Amino acid sequence: MATSYAPSMQFTVVEHPLARHYLSILRDERTEPEAFRAAARRLTYHLVETATEDAKLAEYPLRTPLEATSGYRFPQMVAVAVLRAGLGMLDAVVDLLPGVKVGYAGVQRNEETAQPEEYYVKFPVIGDARVLILEPMLATGGSLSWAIDRVKEAGGTDITALCCVVAPEGVKRLEADHPDVRLVAASLDDGLTDTYYIRPGLGDMGDRLFDTP
């Protein structure tokens, strides 16, 4: 979506035609849950590829059926799904990233204050692994900022957040709280409604993924 806001943090909007196609399916109010889940997974493939295109590979010798050559191993990564909507992105991450470790950050938004309320956190050992935080909707930024705080407390230093759509308000919050974190999204939307929903957005990601009212 067109917006005059220009973030100063390391922020990439994925412009691939297929990403725009699948995002449009997510936005469409007529999309049924099964098709919605499929589009979320396919969109996430593009987000992950963009987020990891600078990954440092380890070279090693191997043999093809014809001769010796070099092979390349992908580095260890950790994915943290922000519950519950982040689960809609997790299958694509597990499909693409070899040996990825998975953690979960359970947070729900207080509908009156829009502030995050923690209810579950479980991470693998992070060490020096690169961390992808899966948070489809970046609205006020409270939930994602909280999740980043928890990842940093667990030792994470190389962190990228993957989002489907983001609002300028949420990006500004990340710029203030975590300017060292990279952000990859499919769209920078126009802003928030009075009830803190992203517009034009795609509605409530969790409800649409899991067909809950």
User: Catalytic residue among 113, 157, 193, 212, which?
Assistant: 113
Whether 113 is catalytic is: yes
3-class DSSP state for residue 199? strand
DSSP string, 68-133: EEEEEEPPPEEEEEEETTTHHHHHHHHHHSTT-EEEEEEEEE-TTT--EEEEEEE----TT-EEEE
Whether 73 is catalytic is: no
User: Catalytic residue among 28, 109, 177, 190, which?
Assistant: 109
User: Catalytic residue among 95, 180, 207, 211, which?
Assistant: 207
Whether 109 is catalytic is: yes
Whether 199 is catalytic is: no
Conformation bin of residue 38: beta by default, left when phi > 0, alpha when psi is -120 to 50: alpha
H-helix or E-strand spanning residue 11: strand 11-13
- Phi/psi of residue 184, each to 5°? -125, 125
- The residues with which 81 forms a beta bridge, in sequence order, are 104, 134
> 106: buried, middle or exposed (CB in 10 Å: 19+, 13-18, 0-12)?
middle
User: Catalytic residue among 91, 158, 177, 204, which?
Assistant: 204
d(CA 21, CA 3): 20
Q: Which positions are annotated as active-site residues?
A: 109, 113, 204, 207
